[in-house]
Amino acid sequence: MLAKVLWFGAGPGSVRRTLTVGVDSTMSHGTHLEGEYMLRKTTLAGISAAAAVLLLAGCANQPSTNSTSSTGSNPGVNIPAITSVTTPKDAVLPAGDGKATCSGVSLAYIGAETGPNAQLGINIYNGIQLAINQHNQANPKCQVAFKKFDTEGDPQKATGPVTQAVNSKDIVGVVGLPFSGESQATGNIFQQAGLVHITPSATNPTLTQKGWTTFFRGLGNDAVQGPAAAKFMTDQLKAKKIYVVQDDSDYGIGLAGEVTKSLSSSVLVGTDKVTTGQKDFSATVSKILNAKPDAVYYAGYYAEAAPFDQQLVNQGFKGTFVGPDGVKDDQFIKLAGNASNNTYFSCPCIPGELIPSFADAYQKLANAAPGTYSIEGYDAATILLSGIDHGKTTRAGLLDWVKNYDADGLSKHYKWDSTGELQAPTVYGYKVEGGKIVPIGTIGG
């Protein structure tokens, strides 16, 4: 049994001291925050009464060792994983009828291949590669080339690769960009070039409010995900008090806004902001522990979400950590370790790993199971390949093809309104169980 006595200084540069009383074999040792140190030696006088009280409190609040428990503060809630999804029987597939003819045409992926959140881009890239491989194998008279451009997921670096791609005249369609910030920074470049691009993952709602006619979103935006996540936390996770934290990206800012405005004032007990690249979250952790929420929703990406959740748990948070699609990746579990056991996710993405034909082919290609947005990347590429197979081998022709598209993919039905938004998006829930991310079914849409 272990209890902690915490002292906090009054100023911004104050140091936090922790007194550990007793032994807890379930806690990981060797992890600490900057500015925090363990006070190992002290006299017994003056603390024995406080220690006794805290020991009793610690006994009443030990975290569950069952990794399938949904929330630390609501251990009775357990949402089971699903094991299958229904896929349309007439889904358009990359192979087509095998009779296509074309020459000198390319599709491109533009997005993160490197950088702190690269895995989300790699998931998409592999899905596109699989679709193009299947198409070219089935259509010997129409070999579509695949070109890749790395943005590192950085809005400041994205304009160069996008400019390079639009200047390559053989590129008639693009899958990307994955992130909202880089999409925001480059939309005008695509528009001026008349080059159609389908994002499998950028969710900021304002992207379709720019007047661009070349931008199409292959999933629901955060105006769909945010309310679904809020309702999921209150209705299914039974959270009475929720704290929302956002990063400084266009994605995090927009999503946090949608979540907070969907929560009542009695449920939303606090908000805070962090920055991209931040490592020490002690100030935010302190605010959260003081607010005592049942759930924390983090609007951002896994590179910051992992150490944030880890620091929350290490400092005694026993509620649920909920992240969006930008956090839903195996890299989050790898970086957060056992602290990730308290995590659920919202994502406007279908669990492609539950579609056997896709999952098996993806595994052979990537030597890994499909990740977040792998199947959305696959479907987006399939739509562009289908247009090429129907003779749409110019930028204008392929853009018109996408504008009027109305067919099923493996992940969902694809039909866009005049702004480039899908007409019937769906949001799924996921959780960490047994060291893996598993789907729990639809939570909105």
How confident is the model over 242-255, as pLDDT tens digits? 999 999 999 999 99
Domain ranges of the chain: 2-60, 106-221+351-414, 223-347+429-444
Q: Which helix (H) or strand (E) holds 125?
A: helix 118-138
Report the largest interatomic distance among the alpha carbons of the chain, rounded to a whole angstrom: 86
Q: With bands split at pLDDT 50, 70 and 90, how would you rate the model's confidence at 67?
A: very low
Report the alpha-carbon distance of residue 132 to residue 134 in Å, rounded.
5
> Is the predicted pLDDT of residue 39 greater than 80, yes or no?
no
pLDDT score of 180: 96
Q: Is the pLDDT of residue 370 over 80?
A: yes
pLDDT band at 372 (very low <50, low <70, confident <90, very high): very high
What does the alpha-carbon distance between residue 125 and residue 306 come to, in Å, rounded to a whole number? 23
| Same fold yes or no, 106-221+351-414 and 223-347+429-444 | yes
Sort 63 into a burial class: Cβ within 10 Å, 0-12 / 13-18 / 19+.
middle
Q: Give whichever of 28-32, 65-69, 160-164 has the largest mean pLDDT.
A: 160-164
More confident residue, 291 or 89: 291
- Domain spanning 223-347+429-444: CATH superfamily: Response regulator (3.40.50.2300)
**What is the per-residue pLDDT for 42?**
37
Domain 106-221+351-414 indexed as CATH 3.40.50.2300? yes
Does residue 356 carry a pLDDT above 90?
yes
Mean pLDDT of the chain: 86
The whole-number average pLDDT for the span 244-269 is 97
What one-letter code names the amino acid at 117?
N
> What confidence score (pLDDT) does residue 76 get?
52
Mean pLDDT of 110-119: 96
Residues 378-415 have pLDDT tens digits of 999 999 999 999 999 999 999 999 999 999 999 999 99
Query: Cα separation of 140 and 142, whole Å?
Result: 6
- 356 contacts 84 by C-beta, under 8 angstroms: no
- Token pair for residue 63? 């975290």
Judged against a pLDDT cut of 80, whether residue 374 lies above it is answered with yes
- Please state the rounded mean pLDDT for residues 294-317: 98
Dist CA 351 CA 129 (whole Å): 19
Which range has the worst mean pLDDT, 46-55, 98-107, 348-357?
A: 46-55
